Amino acid sequence: MTIFRLGYVAMSMHVINSSPSKTMTYKNFSQHKDREAAISKLELLANKNIDNSLRLLKHNKAFGISLFRLSSRLIPLATHEDLEDWDYIEPTKDKLRELGDYASKNKMRIDFHPDHFVVLNSPKSDVVKSSVKNLKYHYDLLTAMGVNPRHRCVLHTGGSYGNKVAALERFIDNWGRISQRLQQMIILENDDKTFNSEDVLYLSEKLSIPHVFDLHHHEANNNNVEWTEYWDRIVKSWSNSEFPVKVHLSSPKNEKQFRHHADYVDPNMFTTFINKVKGSVDIIDCMIEAKQKDAALFQLVRDLKKEAKIEWISDSSFQLK
């Protein structure tokens, strides 16, 4: 019997004034005559973002939500080239540890999904270097939280740059150039335009990287192959991880904007998915990627409670009878 656990991404539609992504542009930063005062403002923003992240975890606990993606923008300008002398961990370490301790105490699976500009298969060395710097930022955050960074960062493969096969091989080549501690942090997701599950599984099986399956992306980019054909291989890719299989679930906004996420999740799509994978593993973590964030999760729960075959374990986890 399979347990399904629901989670959502970074922001809440229910907790007021809780943005974990408050920021300052570099233009505004550079306009301050007193650089130390400007850095102090960055530190205040960073600590506010971490405070709000903790508020969101407490909100999640109240609803039995144990799966959550943290914002990658917790610390504004942390990776900017003109702030390389700023030790952003020192002024935030206490709050980061509090955040990590709360997640660990309450057995919450927290992770990150670095922005699209983190590209390991770029043919440009400066892009790869910048990507590695960004990954180290995430590693430092997780370490400061006291959280094991292993399998905590979702990445896409990158771009094709006119030659998809060469781009896949360049990912492998560049993979060998980054440190093992950063390698172990990464899990790979199929995307909606270029690298489908077949491509990701090629890398996953060659480099021992868990594959995060995105159903919506598969529907947009699949080479006419049913996703169920890949499911056993997807499950196997998680065999060396302490975490359950993780999937991303969302619905298209409309036919014209198929790749865009809708506000909510189609419950029929969701129930079709869970019926196809039930019994394949003990637990599946389902990250809801919808514009309405936790409101979309709550609506999905209300929809699923109409299903007689679902037995609820908590307000956001269930199994099929």
Closest CA to 67 of 129, 18, 122, 110: 110
CA 314 and chain centroid, separation: 23
Residue by residue, pLDDT tens for the chain (321 residues) are 999 999 999 999 999 999 999 999 999 999 988 999 999 999 999 999 999 999 999 999 999 999 999 999 999 999 999 999 999 999 999 999 999 999 999 999 999 999 999 999 999 999 999 999 999 999 999 999 999 999 999 999 999 999 999 999 999 999 999 999 999 999 999 999 999 999 999 999 999 999 999 999 999 999 999 999 999 999 999 999 999 999 999 999 999 999 999 999 999 999 999 999 999 999 999 999 999 999 999 999 999 999 999 999 999 999 998
Q: Which domains does the chain have, with CATH numbers?
A: 1-66+245-320 (no CATH), 112-243 (3.20.20.150)
What is the model's pLDDT at position 321? 83
d(CA 99, CA 288): 22
Q: Give the pLDDT score at 218.
A: 98
d(CA 179, CA 185): 10
Angle formed by the axes of helices 267-277 and 293-304, to 10°? 70
The rounded distance, in Å, linking the Cα atoms of 272 and 257 is 22
Residue 281: partners with Cβ closer than 8 Å, 6 or more residues away: 2, 235, 244, 245
Region for residue 104 given its phi and psi (left: phi exceeds 0; alpha: psi -120 to 50; beta: otherwise): alpha
